[in-house]
Structure 1
Amino acid sequence: MFDMGSNWPEAESHDGVAQVKMRGWSARVLGHAHLEGPDGQRVRMDRRAATLLAYLGMEGPASKAAVSHLLWPDSPPAAVRNNMRQLLRRLRLSCGGTDLVDGDSQRLGLSPDVTLDLARLKCAAGKPLSPDVLQALLQGTGVGLLTGVSFDDCDELSRWLDGARAAVEGWVRNAREAEVQRRMDARDWPTALALAQAWVQQEPESEQAGRHLIRLHYLRGDRGAALAAFERLRSTLSHDLGVAPMPETLTLVRTIEKDAAWTASPQPTRAPLPMSVMRPPVLAGRQHALRQLQEGLEAGQLLFVAGDAGSGKTRLAEEFAASVGTWFRLEARPGDQEVPYASQTRAVRAHLARRPGIVMPDWVRTELSRIVPELGNGTALPPLASEADELRFYEAHAEAMALLHEGDQVIVVDDVQYWDQASAKLFMYSLARMMERKYEAPARAPAFIDCFRKGELPPYSEANVRKLVDTGLARVIEVGPLALEEVRQLLAGLELPGAEPHAEALTRYTGGNPLYIVETLKHLIETDALHRDWPRRLPPPGRVGPLIQRRLERLTPLARLTAQLAARADLHFRAALAPEALQVSVAELHAALSELESAQILVAERFTHDLVLEAVHASVSDSAARFLHGRLARVFERDGAPAIILAHHWMEAGQEDRALPFLLAAAHADEQLLPKGQAAGHYARAAALLEAVGRGYEAANARAAESRCRQSESASTPGASSVER
């Protein structure tokens, strides 16, 4: 059942198992009702006490009289009042004097000192799920309200409980749906797939759950699993409900069978994104990388694929692995570096999950139980006190890897930059042992393809990679951005009407990053802008903004501030002006600019591509923006910048009085040199500012100048002249 009390852990271990640190009392009414205390003690509740807490969690604070008569409908008023007093007293005593319910003679409500799992589930609607709710959904366990409780003797209370249970079922379903979609949008395929699988296991007749599972298998590149999931769904619907799959499901499956772009059925109010955009069928611009992978495979080398986030490293590795034969994917996760053996423990468990019947020597299982406790017999092992002890542990792991990899031809390891140091050392030892065995039994040594983000490997992993490459045992294949013709190839493969005319703009806007291209297309589709002219300004769409934001967060404070200054200065940014604007030395600025170039944020005083500019621009808070614009205004003013630039920065700094002279000067200059409409706009803005500060006479002059410019503009318009003639 859902475990959603106030005693949820402050952190979750990296193997997904909750390490609970208790804080206070919590009440569980999902599943079998009970109370849990700060020391882990469990206290059973009777049905009326549990129902009272459930009612207050569902309905909020309520009339004490109404709730009392709902619980004891056939009792006299005096008995009802006494029953309620006794019930509240029992609850308080069962918690060592803690009040779970607050109230007076008129109303009752849940105490802030207790956390109710039902209330947390209710609050989860429409929000990212808390770790405990997510864990329960992944486990696929039952979450019925007040399991085993019935009120056949209280008709009204029984009707309320039926309705509440239906509401809980709806919340669970909505939570599953929202979280699966959220994980899909974030391309967190493993979690999304696990959620969908748990959902299907819990509700095998749910076509909604089945469609998610089918779609996720396909998006992960497993077309066979997608079609198998459809067959199971169709069989369940036919056998249990006597119905056929809905047209939307059949459309999805026909698309997968043809491996073409998916066009959604017209029934949903919001059409899903085309399947081709979710997983582009054409791997554009990667022929050279594929040749390198093939050469490395034939040479028996360990293969590393490096590139920026979103460059398509994982997709490239998986496509190549699938072309070779039997393969399996492992991954590290952010935070693994803080927990010794976290990455390798997850890898062992992933292998054991797909081969539950594997037989390993007892000594191997015993040694592996140091990091995978479920392989042991419950007896604590002594620590590794000597080199011999450590060697035995390492040998056991190497032996286990050889057995677990038997029959595999390729292992893809993703996000190696997160691999913890202890796991890296253990893997390197096992790899060396497998390389030795390769000459005795080549079939037992699979090829490894390790993917990592360029520039993000920790020192210990970077040293390992360099050592392997220097000795010829490995090669690094770098995946760069797509060129214009490769972007055209990608767009042609999408078969997305309206996309190909945007090839040049997409290349410029995204820098040729495949993920950025796809996310931008999603944004254009969702905003119904794909068939229009390229938007004048775009925010970082989908996952692109957070990806770039993570790059920004890794910068030093001065480098990040320099990037933000450049974003606010935009086309007028010059490195020579930055030391004065930021009040730093030239040497400090040079170091910051070098850091920005290494991080691919700035190149030659310009942002590497538009998405980076937009993301940096969005990362500046309002107060910081005003500060930066004020600094820029002062520097540009001393540098003799054009009046309109000074007016812009003073206004953005929130200093309209400093902006006014420059705004009027810009209007005067524009009236002489530029189209009259532009000058009229500047006069209008100046007039509005003057009126706001009570300078009526000057505002009237500005309005008169605006009128003069608009009349002049109208007289010079060709259409207007022909009418007059």
Structure 2
Amino acid sequence: MTARSLGRAPVAGSEWRVRVLGLARLCGPDGQQVRLERRTAALLAWLSLQGPSPKFPLAALLWPDSPPTTVRSNLRQLLRRLRLATGDEALVEGDTERLALVSPSAVDAACLKAAAGARAPAEALEAVGAEGSTLLAGFDFDDCPELARWLDGARAGVDGWVREAREARIAWLTASGDWTAALGLAQAWARQEPESEQAGRHLIRLHYLQGDRGAALATFEHLRGVLDRELGVTPMPETLALVREVERATPRPPSLPGTRSALPLSVLRPPLLVGREAAWRQLEAGWEAGQLLFISGEPGSGKTRLAEEFAATQGRWGRIEARAGDRDVPFASQARAFRTQLRRWPDVKLPDWVRTELSRILPELGEPRLLPPLASEAGLLRFYDAIVAALHLLHEHEDISVADDVQYWDTASARAFTFAFSRLADATPRGARSLRFIDCYRRGELSPDARMHVTGLVEAGLARIVEVDALTDEDVKRMVAGMGLGGAEAHVEALARYTGGNPLYVVETLKHLLETDSLQREWPQRLPPPGRVGPLIQRRLERLSPLALQCARLAALAGAFFRTSLVPGVLQVKPADAHEALAELEAAQVLMGERFSHDLVMEAVRAGMGPGEDRVLHARLATVLEEDGAPSILLAHHWLEAGWTERALPHLLASARSDEQVLPPELAAEHYARAAALMQSLGQHEDAVRARAAEARCRLQSASAGVLTPGPSGGPGARGSPG
């Protein structure tokens, strides 16, 4: 897959854009900035929020004390100046009766209104930007009384849309576990509205979720002071209730406050981490020895929570993850990790040379087409050195990196990570703490190369594998007791026997008993075979609405590249209906944001699909992605899964050619080989011969350039992750 396959870079628009939120101005396609005079800005703001409007009544609002002939003349001059400012590009069109925007989507206020109507908070906040949301900031219209009254109402409406978008976006980020991004948004809100208790409550809750009870209580004291000083009021009852909860709680939160699920919070996140004392001691021993820590266990055994709980006791930590589907997409895992860190630390400035090199896998950082192909060892080394530099800068504020689901890491990311981690110690300033790593993976699911690498590290004494096993009956009893569910303790023995001590199975079984109102009754006689959580999840899926189930199936097929914005186009539904269906999936703990709550949930969704439905959804997905200009390898994959081999081939070849330009040549060789095999099967023998020749050329380039492949137990990669 090409560098572009990991996310498209923003393309400079060919049209002028209008900002009337904040400082009113025109933004040209080549970066020009033109300040708007007061009445021109008001005209554009009115049309963006009111839509097409009668020409003369609108002009009369702008010049209320002028005679009709003057008003018409002034309006003609205003529109002429506006057109001259854009180099003759029309922003407003009209006839003798009405005026309208040529392209409402080019005006920030119109985009905000549309996003608010579609209940799309991310798009709404994107329309607002970073400069604030005050409509026509800095302008007043005391000489235009009717326009001033309209502006007061319009400003209140805009503020309401932005407030609702912030509230929804923070709730979504919190529910999906991205507490750092949610905290950043809440802090920006509090800076703009220091007296907002909504913003203050989010700050208190998010500091608490991140384990910093002191910061949560300090935030409350600051908010209380602002309310008293500025407004002469005391905090609302819900704010006081939240603070009392924080004061009573332990530093590590037992649940996700604000989650939309009707299930008890103690079920969504069991308060006690039980049965992991021996594993914890092993982690401590490995930490003291300076070893790389691997946590291995069965799906649902609690590997991630153990890693996060332990990391929180050792310093500042951050989490990255791989997803099912990454293995087939070169640098998918690496790119996602960098994007996670760039969102987490947006103020980090990468050097120009680092941004340029990383644009091979993060096109939004630059233009990879301007780079020479990675056909030499020197070029490949520079690319890897850029990864080392970026990792160092993006982890300056963290001591530990927790990597989840490393069994899904793609080979290209693994090679780059392994090289980079071996160099991080050299990049760490003298006296500073070097970055430490805790990697989690499913037992028995590492690739052969990764397994060999981990074994080499362990044998060299550089790493330690901590195995996480099933809970004992006593552990299950303690886990259930900590949840405080009335009637649950009567089922402990049956629950331990039924689930085999798998923590996720325990939680899913309790969810099933709660949802079927069976917790207060005798143990059900008709349940799926013990130890199998899939049928339980399947029953929960069956209670979803048809549209929510379709959304879940779409997410399962899209895999690591699922975006909620795909739903309306692929399923051909209204954005508002898609939003409700996605909210239903979050409430049912099927999705958390744009990923599944657990891989087993995704597997249950896919298991419930028939082959015909599978192919239809793949075809619809490919069609929408084609319209969006999605990466070639992604399009090839979905067309192949849909059974449309001939439509897949051009995309597969395009991906190979692009890989050959910006990534190590062996990646392009793999795609040429696959394309040749498909051409041969379709009887396209001449084309297959040409593809084989291209494959051979790439493999020759790879061999002549040399491959930077770190060893498993020494030299480059000695500190590495199997990534």
CA–CA distance in structure 1, aligned partners of residues 519 and 36 of structure 2: 61
Cα gap change, 1:388 to 1:232, in 2 (>3 Å): same
1:216 equivalent to 2:206? Answer yes
Partner of 1:293: 283
1:229 equivalent to 2:231? Answer no
CA–CA distance in structure 2, aligned partners of residues 423 and 277 of structure 1: 35
CA contact under 8 A between 1:26 and 1:115: conserved in structure 2? yes
Partner of 2:65: 74
SS of corresponding position for 2:294: strand
Partner of 1:657: none
CA–CA distance in structure 2, aligned partners of residues 479 and 389 of structure 1: 41
CA–CA distance in structure 2, aligned partners of residues 205 and 530 of structure 1: 46
Flag the structure with more relative contact order, 1 or 2, with Cα contacts below 8 A and sequence separation at least 6: 2
1:38-117 maps to which residues of 2 (within 5 A)?
Answer: 38-112=29-103, 115-117=106-108
Partner of 2:136: 146
CA contact under 8 A between 1:284 and 1:486: conserved in structure 2? yes
Partner amino acid, structure 2, of 1:213: L
Cα gap change, 1:508 to 1:195, in 2 (>3 Å): farther
**Correspondence for 1:242 among 202, 219, 232:** 232
CA contact under 8 A between 1:545 and 1:615: conserved in structure 2? no
Partner amino acid, structure 2, of 1:331: I
Cα gap change, 1:120 to 1:532, in 2 (>3 Å): farther
SS of corresponding position for 1:151: coil
Deviation at 1:157, TM superposition (A): 0.4
Cα gap change, 1:400 to 1:611, in 2 (>3 Å): closer
Partner of 1:283: 273
Give the length in aligned residue pairs: 543
Cα gap change, 1:610 to 1:411, in 2 (>3 Å): closer
Q: Flag the structure with larger Rg.
A: 1
1:494 equivalent to 2:496? Answer no
Deviation at 1:466, TM superposition (A): 4.7
Partner of 2:166: 176
Partner of 2:177: 187
Partner amino acid, structure 1, of 2:74: N
CA–CA distance in structure 2, aligned partners of residues 211 and 318 of structure 1: 25
Partner amino acid, structure 1, of 2:541: P
1:331 equivalent to 2:333? Answer no
Query: TM-score normalized by structure 2?
Result: 0.59
Deviation at 1:209, TM superposition (A): 1.1
Cα gap change, 1:33 to 1:609, in 2 (>3 Å): closer
**Correspondence for 1:167 among 152, 157, 179:** 157
Partner amino acid, structure 1, of 2:100: G
Cα gap change, 1:402 to 1:31, in 2 (>3 Å): closer
- Residues 248-269 of structure 1: CA distance to partner in whole angstroms, max 9, x if unpaired? 222222222221799999xx9x
Cα gap change, 1:292 to 1:541, in 2 (>3 Å): farther
SS of corresponding position for 1:538: helix
CA contact under 8 A between 1:508 and 1:610: conserved in structure 2? no
Deviation at 1:99, TM superposition (A): 3.5
Deviation at 1:282, TM superposition (A): 0.6
CA contact under 8 A between 1:22 and 1:40: conserved in structure 2? no
CA contact under 8 A between 2:227 and 2:233: conserved in structure 1? yes
Partner amino acid, structure 1, of 2:439: D
Partner of 1:121: 112
Deviation at 1:111, TM superposition (A): 2.4
Structure 2 residue runs without a partner (length 5+)? 360-369, 528-535, 561-597, 618-723
SS of corresponding position for 2:304: helix
Partner of 2:454: 465
Query: TM-score normalized by structure 1?
Result: 0.59
- Residues 361-404 of structure 1: CA distance to partner in whole angstroms, max 9, x if unpaired? xxx9898677699xxxxxxx999998689779978987998999
Cα gap change, 1:89 to 1:278, in 2 (>3 Å): farther
- Residues 194-223 of structure 1: CA distance to partner in whole angstroms, max 9, x if unpaired? 222222222222111111122122223333
Partner amino acid, structure 1, of 2:76: R
CA–CA distance in structure 2, aligned partners of residues 474 and 331 of structure 1: 19
SS of corresponding position for 2:142: coil
Cα gap change, 1:49 to 1:461, in 2 (>3 Å): farther
CA contact under 8 A between 2:300 and 2:504: conserved in structure 1? yes
- Residues 553-609 of structure 1: CA distance to partner in whole angstroms, max 9, x if unpaired? 569xxxxxxxxxxxxxxxxxxxxxxxxxxxxxxxxxxxxxxxxxxxxxxxxxxxx99
Partner of 2:540: 538
Cα gap change, 1:49 to 1:20, in 2 (>3 Å): same
Deviation at 1:118, TM superposition (A): 0.8
CA–CA distance in structure 2, aligned partners of residues 352 and 550 of structure 1: 28
CA contact under 8 A between 1:64 and 1:106: conserved in structure 2? yes
CA–CA distance in structure 1, aligned partners of residues 336 and 321 of structure 2: 6
Cα gap change, 1:35 to 1:292, in 2 (>3 Å): same
CA–CA distance in structure 2, aligned partners of residues 232 and 39 of structure 1: 44
Partner of 2:705: none
Partner of 2:584: none
CA–CA distance in structure 1, aligned partners of residues 318 and 282 of structure 2: 20
Cα gap change, 1:613 to 1:42, in 2 (>3 Å): closer
CA–CA distance in structure 2, aligned partners of residues 319 and 80 of structure 1: 69
Deviation at 1:127, TM superposition (A): 5.3
Partner amino acid, structure 1, of 2:55: K
CA–CA distance in structure 2, aligned partners of residues 609 and 120 of structure 1: 36
- Residues 82-123 of structure 1: CA distance to partner in whole angstroms, max 9, x if unpaired? 333343344344444444334433333332475221122122
1:315 equivalent to 2:305? Answer yes
305-314 vs 204-213, greater mean Cα deviation: 305-314
Cα gap change, 1:493 to 1:161, in 2 (>3 Å): same
CA contact under 8 A between 2:22 and 2:135: conserved in structure 1? yes
Structure 1 residue runs without a partner (length 5+)? 1-9, 357-363, 374-380, 556-607, 628-725
Cα gap change, 1:421 to 1:621, in 2 (>3 Å): closer
SS of corresponding position for 1:191: helix
CA contact under 8 A between 1:205 and 1:237: conserved in structure 2? yes
SS of corresponding position for 1:153: coil
Partner amino acid, structure 2, of 1:250: L
**Correspondence for 1:412 among 402, 405, 410:** 402
CA contact under 8 A between 1:140 and 1:198: conserved in structure 2? no
Deviation at 1:421, TM superposition (A): 6.2
SS of corresponding position for 1:125: helix
Cα gap change, 1:156 to 1:179, in 2 (>3 Å): same
Percent identity among equivalent residues?
49
Aligned-CA RMSD value: 5.6
Partner of 2:605: 615
Deviation at 1:33, TM superposition (A): 1.8
SS of corresponding position for 1:289: helix
CA–CA distance in structure 2, aligned partners of residues 236 and 158 of structure 1: 30
CA contact under 8 A between 1:29 and 1:116: conserved in structure 2? yes
CA–CA distance in structure 2, aligned partners of residues 210 and 329 of structure 1: 24
- Residues 151-210 of structure 1: CA distance to partner in whole angstroms, max 9, x if unpaired? 121011011111111111111111100011112222222322222222222222211111
Partner of 2:148: 158
CA contact under 8 A between 1:305 and 1:451: conserved in structure 2? yes
